[in-house]
Amino acid sequence: MKTSLLQKLACPFDKHDLELKVFKQEQDTILEGILTCTQCNRYYPIIYGVPIMSPDEYREKSLEHPLLHRWGLQLDNDSKTFRLLAAGQEIEK
């Protein structure tokens, strides 16, 4: 996706602003990255330049986890929704 598109994107769940973290970029196109909602903490990965912003029920955690793991992100595994752990939060063993 183009970096300029970010201003038009909002969380599909609560319409709040999204925060972008870029992992791979070519000129003004983001190839890999992650959008996080500042309100509900849901994450939306950008894979092969496409932001995955489907509702929770249409998403497949097993497909997204390896990628997020490669990016060094911690996930809330027990949660039914797609949220990242807040910074400093520990994963319970």
Q: Interface with Zn ion by CB under 5 A: which residues?
A: 11, 13-14, 16, 37, 39-40, 42
We find the least distance from the C-beta atom of residue 23 to Zn ion, in angstroms, to be 21
Shortest spacing between CB 93 and Zn ion, in angstroms: 28
Residue number with CB closer to Zn ion (26 or 57): 57
CB of 26 to Zn ion, least distance (A): 28
Query: Would you list the DSSP string of 9-31?
Result: -B-TTT--BEEEEEEEEETTEEE
User: Which sign does the torsion angle of CA 8, 12, 13, 19 carry?
Assistant: negative
